[in-house]
Amino acid sequence: MLILFLFGIILGQAASLKVSMKTHWSGGVTGSFCIPITQDLHGWKAHLIFDHVINKLDVSTCIAEKKQGGKEFVLTNKPFNKEEHVGDKLCVDFVGHTDSDINPTATVSIEGMDGSGSSFSHTTALYFTMEFFSPGGDRGLYDYSKPLANSILFYNAQRSGKLPANNPIKWRGDSALKDGSDVGVDLTGGWYDAGDHVKFGLPMAATAHLLLWSYIQWPDAYSSTSLTDKFFDMIKWPLDYFLKCWIPSKNEFYMQVGNGDDDHHFWGRAEDMKMARPSLKNTASKPGSDVAGETAAAMAAGSIAFKKRDHAYSTKLLTAAKSLYVFAKTYTGKYSQSVQGAGQFYSSSGYTDELCEAAIWLYRATKDQKYLNDAKGFVETAWAWALSWDDKKVACQLMLYQETQDDMAGKAVIGFMKSWLPGGGITYTPCGLAWRDQWGSTRYAANTAFLALMAADAGLEATKYRKWAQSQINYILGQNKQCFSYVIGFGKKFPRNPHHRSASCPMIPAPCSEANLHSSGPSPHILVGALVGGPDAKGAYTDKREDYVHNEVACDYNSGFHSALAGLIHLTHTKSLPRADTPKCPCSVH
């Protein structure tokens, strides 16, 4: 039985929608509503009425006017969402500030929805996006489809460039529209890396690669949750950017836009950036086999994903992947050593793992034996420290095992997993999170959970790995002593102060500066779907925007987590998800 905190009421004429607001804490409440539009509106007002006083209402998509001493707020459209048409949904997220821990109820209505000035007269629902569990058993503890859908929203919030008409993140606008102008190349688009606004090629390509791998392995995870179109819309954003970055006629590959130091001295919206954004490139004399190889892998995987959906685009990706792989393989070197200013934030430890990934994906896309032979030459036998944006040797080993059943590769994957499972030497928090490093502890656990699910599909220790992966993802989603979710917008308690510039800024034209970094209040915008860095080795975590070690978000942080969710949804969909082991610190809310 799925519990969504979804409250739907069939309403009669002039009735308001009543909602029991159960998401609350000391000092605030939070919620969101989505009202189906049943007639065209050319400007609108919604009345949100509480039975307790709300001191202040934070809402980014409309103007909130306090009435009746805080028991009513009149919500008025902004220019961008003035026009609402039949079939649309008017969705509003809000955070209310209170003097204490209260549990209010509320009603909402839209003026004139039925043409008579009354509220709407149809079946609708007001819902909170915060809590989505199922009980245990073969369906798993959580409904994993919701955080998967929300992860797509997070990636959409990271978009750079000219945003499309269907942009779902209303507090984001066009930005960095002159990227590449310093070199006469259009380098607009792509994803901002984290809470900052640099476009780092290596982690962006690593992110796209894992996301595409999850779709290719588990397409039913997306189709069964109606997320296929949203996935392709999301993943095309970095792929289009990668195509712009590679200029084969000149052997030039642009692998970074923006200067990390200059960017990190600016706290504000992406839309307000005024600093120079230099474009950095690899060439034959300044090679970057790592970033070029990883990007080739992502484009080759993209060509497979798009083959049935858009054959011409698939061919374009494959052609680019082939030539970029030749460039990466011919002119070898680490990008962070070749180009001054490129490795300060994402320094590369090597490039054979990225070349291996590129070779395997090109083999999968073409079935040309030469690529598989290359991969066999690039694969390493050592156990990996982790699966990360930098170290992909275990991913290479697993993919080679998938293709050839190579015994050495299989043993390397099993050895890696042995080092991560209990008793293998890795640190565990008191409540059971496999803790590799203070920088993105949830990221490393989720990446390994994804790899475990992929290894299980390959026939390696299937039940053991699936149970373990499920335990790690469940911990991240809130199955811990504090019942705390490290995914923004999921669960009753989740981070409200991520280290993310744009989310910390109020809507334009209100000013934003470093004062917003140090503000003690929740971020004005809920960065739905983002996975924060996570707890320390003792399981402690503080929701503090200034703490970029534990409260940073990043594209690569979400990649393994997102992909592991897809694997768990596939197992649920195919009724093959094993019952999870009893957690060390079960959340009492269940």
pLDDT band, very low/low/confident/very high, at 13 (cuts 50, 70, 90)? very low
* Res 7: pLDDT: 35
Residue spans of beta strands (DSSP E) within 518-575: none
Pairing outcome for strands 434-435 and 427-428: antiparallel
Q: How many CB atoms lie within 10 A of CB 63?
A: 13
pLDDT of the residue at 84: 77
Mean pLDDT, all residues of the chain: 90
DSSP-assigned letter for residue 131: -
472 or 108, which is more confident: 472
Chain segment 168-213, per-residue pLDDT in tens: 999 999 999 999 999 999 999 999 999 999 999 999 999 999 999 9
Mean pLDDT lowest among 34-38, 231-235, 327-331, 457-461 = 34-38
Residue 135: per-residue pLDDT: 35
Selection from 59, 44, 64 nearest residue 93 by Cα: 59
Q: What is the mean pLDDT of residues 247-264?
A: 96
Report whether pLDDT(577) > 90: yes
Structural domains in the chain plus CATH codes: 6-127 (2.60.40.290), 145-573 (1.50.10.10)
Task: Over range 486-492, report the average pLDDT.
Answer: 95
Confidence of residue 559 (pLDDT cuts 50, 70, 90): very high
pLDDT higher than 80, residue 455: yes
> β-strand 89-97 against 56-58: which pairing, if any?
antiparallel
More confidently predicted of 483 and 24: 483
CB 141, CB 135: distance < 8 Å:
yes
281 vs 101: CA distance, rounded Å? 53
Distance CA 25, CA 100 (A): 8
How many CB atoms neighbour CB 36 within 10 A?
A: 15
Q: What is the 3-state secondary structure (H, E, C) of 533-545?
A: CCCCCCCCCCCCC
Dihedral of CA 508/511/515/521: which sign?
negative
What ranges in 78-169 are assigned the alpha helix state H?
145-157
Tokens of 532: 């924060």
CB 352 within 8 A of CB 380: yes
Arithmetic mean of pLDDT, 552-564: 98
pLDDT surpassing 90 at residue 502: yes
Q: How far apart are the C-alpha atoms of 72 and 53, rounded to whole Å?
A: 8
Active site residues: 499, 543, 552
C-alpha angle with apex 434: 433 to 437, nearest 5 degrees?
A: 110
* Residues 189, 318: Cα–Cα separation, whole Å: 20
pLDDT surpasses 60 at 248: yes
Point out which residues pair with 7 in neighbouring strands. Answer: 126
- Residue-wise pLDDT for 362-412, tens only, equals 999 999 999 999 999 999 999 999 999 999 999 999 999 999 999 999 999
pLDDT digits (tens, 9 = 90+) for 417-435: 999 999 999 999 999 999 9
Burial 203-226 (b: 16+ CB within 10 A, else e): bbbbbbbbbbbbbebbeebbebbe
Whether the pLDDT of residue 167 is over 60: the answer is yes
Rounded Cα distance, 36 and 91, in Å: 9
| 3-state SS assignment for residue 201 | helix
pLDDT value for 130 = 36
Stretch (H or E) spanning 256: strand 252-257
344 pLDDT above the threshold of 60:
yes
Q: Which residue in 541, 545, 508, 548 sits closest to 523, CA to CA? A: 545
79: pLDDT strictly greater than 80: no
DSSP, res 250: G
Please check whether residue 335 is in contact with residue 288, taking contact to mean a CB–CB distance below 8 angstroms: yes
Which amino acid is present at 477?
A: L
Give the model confidence (pLDDT) of 116-162 as tens digits: 333 322 222 333 333 333 333 345 679 999 999 999 999 999 999 99
- Give the Cα separation of 532 and 500 in Å (integer): 10
Check pLDDT > 70 for residue 558: yes
Q: Would you say 313 and 306 are in contact if contact means Cβ atoms under 8 Å apart?
A: yes
Return the SS3 of 509.
Answer: coil
Give residue-wise pLDDT tens across range 262-318. 999 999 999 999 999 999 999 999 999 999 999 999 999 999 999 999 999 999 999
Looking at residue 23, what is its pLDDT?
A: 65
Question: 212-217 long-range CB contacts below 8 Å, 24 or more apart?
Answer: 212/298, 212/301, 212/302, 212/304, 212/305, 213/301, 213/454, 213/563, 214/450, 214/562, 214/563, 214/566, 214/567, 215/305, 215/566, 216/301, 216/304, 216/305, 217/454, 217/457, 217/566, 217/567, 217/570
